[in-house]
């Protein structure tokens, strides 16, 4: 008899992994939580390569905003922008750009829904119970579902991480601010470029994107510490790029990169952010999840054994995720450096910016 897989989660990872399992020898159920997709994410060359092996390029292109360059700039005490480094992406054959989370999820979801054999439940799973060779899922409507395997793609706060790791409580949280603007002036200044702006209170990442078919600008502000809020600027030019009226949303991201936890227990396999909470400094959270999906897709080409798939993933892929998290932590520290270390960082970016980007980012993008 066909084994059943239940995917918990309604975000990017859930629909991504569901699209890997359709047309395989499993019956697939998706327990879709709430759909709260905010803003956009960067798709780096490795993510693009993976994504285009999963969905049709032509479906992505209309909602994808490509970047031509990466600019690293400093906002000085007079609120003047000083260019430290300009990295040209047009020399690379690879594609780098952005896509809104809503569009990304919709494209993956449409692909899954086109397969009539997948069952979708609008349901929040509260408890996972291990019961003799089967797993029982309990939802908020007090329904019980039986399944052979679970893929927990319900993020860091979900029931799956609690079942596998023992707790879904996160400590040492880092505050990160996110915003979007539909202002044309901002978009025109952000056009085609990924900008990293270093400031005495943190750093901004600004890039163009498409939100609900409109040209938009996506903002991230990473403060030096959790007590700092995004700065307000007097300079007219800076206000075009970073309007003071931005409606910032706060995300709390786990900062425990040294904590190595399990990702599999009694038939429940964690996937996406639930498995590897990732610091966003390298913009690799989602891109690495796309690579994880390709790893599993390739495995399933020749072998439908779920437990062997998980074992192979843990042995061959988990290490890469640890490395990315460590690199991300180092990049985050460098970008947030102040005073004397910040001064030397700026000098290094000015003199060796291109080489630094190649050494740090290219290695990740090519993986």
Ligand X SMILES: Cc1cc2nc3c(=O)[nH]c(=O)nc-3n(C[C@H](O)[C@H](O)[C@H](O)COP(=O)(O)OP(=O)(O)OC[C@H]3O[C@@H](n4cnc5c(N)ncnc54)[C@H](O)[C@@H]3O)c2cc1C
277 binds ligand X (CB under 6 A): no
Residue with tokens 């700039």: 73
- Give dist(CA 344, CA 240) in Å, integer: 29
Cα–Cα dist 358/91, whole Å: 13
Residues 196-225 that bind ligand X (CB under 6 A): 220
Minimum CB distance to ligand X, residue 347 (Å)? 27
Number of H-type helices and E-type strands within the chain: 12, 19
CB atoms < 10 A from the CB of 81, how many?
16
Query: Nearer to ligand X by C-beta: 84 or 206?
Result: 206
| Whether 65 contacts 96, CB under 8 Å | no
Shortest distance, position 139 Cβ to ligand X, whole Å: 8
273 near ligand X, rule: CB under 6 A? yes
Query: Shortest Cβ contact with ligand X: which residue?
Result: 33
Window contacting ligand X (CB under 6 A); options: 9-17, 110-118, 229-237, 296-304: 9-17
**Does residue 124 belong to the site contacting ligand X (CB under 6 A)?**
yes
Q: To the nearest 10°, report the CA torsion of 356, 217, 278, 248.
A: 120
**Nearest distance from residue 344's CB to ligand X, in Å?**
27
Measured from the CB atom, is 22 or 348 closer to ligand X?
22
Q: Which stretch binds ligand X (CB under 6 A): 31-39, 60-68, 329-337, 357-365?
A: 31-39
Determine which residue in the list 185, 251, 337, 367 makes contact with ligand X, applying CB under 6 A.
251
Based on the shown chain and the rule CB under 6 A, indicate whether residue 154 belongs to the binding site for ligand X: yes
Residues 66-105 that bind ligand X (CB under 6 A): none
The span from the CA of 305 to the CA of 3, in Å, is 10
Instruction: Count Cβ atoms below 10 Å from residue 243 Cβ, excluding itself.
Output: 17
Binding of ligand X by 45 (CB under 6 A): no
CA dist., res. 286 & res. 167, Å (int) = 23
Q: If residue 250 lies in a helix (H) or strand (E), which one and from where to where?
A: strand 249-254
Number of residues that bind ligand X (CB under 6 A): 35
Choose among 251, 231, 254: nearest CA to 241: 231
Residues in contact with ligand X, shown as a per-residue x/- string from 169 to 188 under the rule CB under 6 A: -------x-x----------
Strand partners for 221? 177, 204
Given the rule CB under 6 A, which of 235-243, 275-283, 305-313, 348-356 is the region that contacts ligand X?
A: 275-283
Which one, 185 or 256, has the nearer CB to ligand X? 256
Instruction: Look at residues 173, 178, 176, 150 and name the one whose alpha carbon lies nearest to residue 9.
Output: 150
Return all residues near 321 (Cβ < 8 A) that are at least 6 apart: 275, 276, 278, 288, 292
Q: Which of 245, 197, 251 lies closest to 226, judged by CA?
A: 251
Q: Which is nearer to ligand X, 334 or 346 (CB)?
A: 334
d(C-alpha 102, C-alpha 88), whole Å? 28
CB of 274 to ligand X, least distance (A): 6
Task: Establish if 152 lies at the interface with ligand X (CB under 6 A).
Answer: no
Alpha helices in 226-284 (DSSP H): 236-241
Taking CB under 6 A as the rule, which mask of x and - marks residues 282-311 in contact with ligand X?
-xxxxx-x----------------------
Closest to ligand X by CB, 31 or 299: 31
The Cα–Cα gap between 30 and 120 comes to 5
Nearer to ligand X, 50 or 189 (CB): 50
- Taking the least distance from each CB to ligand X, the nearer of 123 and 346 is 123
Q: How far apart are CA 337 and CA 345, in angstroms?
A: 8
Residue 253 is a binding residue for ligand X (CB under 6 A): yes
> Where on the chain is the footprint of ligand X (CB under 6 A)?
8-14, 31, 33-34, 41-42, 47, 124-125, 153-155, 158-159, 176, 178, 220, 251, 253, 272-273, 278, 280, 283-287, 289
């Amino acid at each position: 008899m066909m084994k059943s897989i239940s995917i918990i989660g309604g975000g990017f990872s859930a629909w991504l992994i569901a699209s890997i399992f359709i047309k395989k020898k499993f019956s697939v159920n998706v327990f879709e939580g709430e759909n709260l997709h905010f803003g956009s994410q960067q798709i780096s060359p490795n993510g693009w390569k993976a994504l285009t092996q999963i969905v049709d390029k032509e479906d992505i292109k209309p909602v994808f905003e490509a970047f031509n360059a990466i600019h690293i700039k400093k906002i000085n005490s007079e609120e003047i922008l000083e260019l430290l480094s300009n990295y040209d992406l047009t020399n690379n054959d690879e594609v780098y750009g952005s896509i809104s989370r809503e569009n990304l999820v919709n494209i993956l979801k449409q692909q899954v829904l086109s397969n009539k054999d997948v069952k979708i439940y609008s349901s929040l799973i509260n408890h996972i119970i291990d019961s003799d060779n089967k797993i029982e899922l309990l939802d908020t409507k007090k329904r019980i579902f039986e399944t052979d395997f679970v893929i927990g793609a319900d993020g860091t706060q979900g029931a799956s991480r609690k079942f596998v790791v023992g707790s879904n409580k996160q400590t040492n949280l880092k505050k990160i601010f996110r915003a979007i603007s539909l202002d044309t002036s901002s978009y025109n200044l952000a056009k085609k470029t990924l900008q990293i702006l270093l400031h005495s209170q943190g750093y901004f990442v600004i890039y163009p994107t498409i939100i609900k078919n409109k040209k938009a600008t996506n903002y991230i502000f990473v403060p030096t510490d959790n007590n700092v809020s995004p700065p307000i600027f007097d300079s007219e030019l800076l206000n075009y790029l970073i309007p003071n009226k931005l409606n910032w949303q706060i995300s709390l991201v786990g900062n425990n990169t040294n904590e190595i936890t399990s990702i599999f227990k009694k038939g429940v396999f964690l996937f996406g952010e639930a498995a590897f909470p990732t610091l966003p400094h390298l913009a690799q959270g989602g891109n690495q999840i796309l690579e994880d999906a390709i790893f599993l897709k390739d495995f399933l080409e020749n072998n439908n054994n779920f437990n062997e798939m998980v074992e192979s993933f843990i042995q061959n892929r988990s290490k890469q995720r640890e490395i990315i998290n460590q690199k991300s932590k180092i990049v985050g520290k460098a970008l947030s450096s102040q005073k004397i270390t910040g001064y030397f960082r700026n000098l290094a970016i000015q003199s060796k910016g291109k080489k630094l980007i190649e050494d740090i980012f290219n290695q990740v993008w090519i993986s």
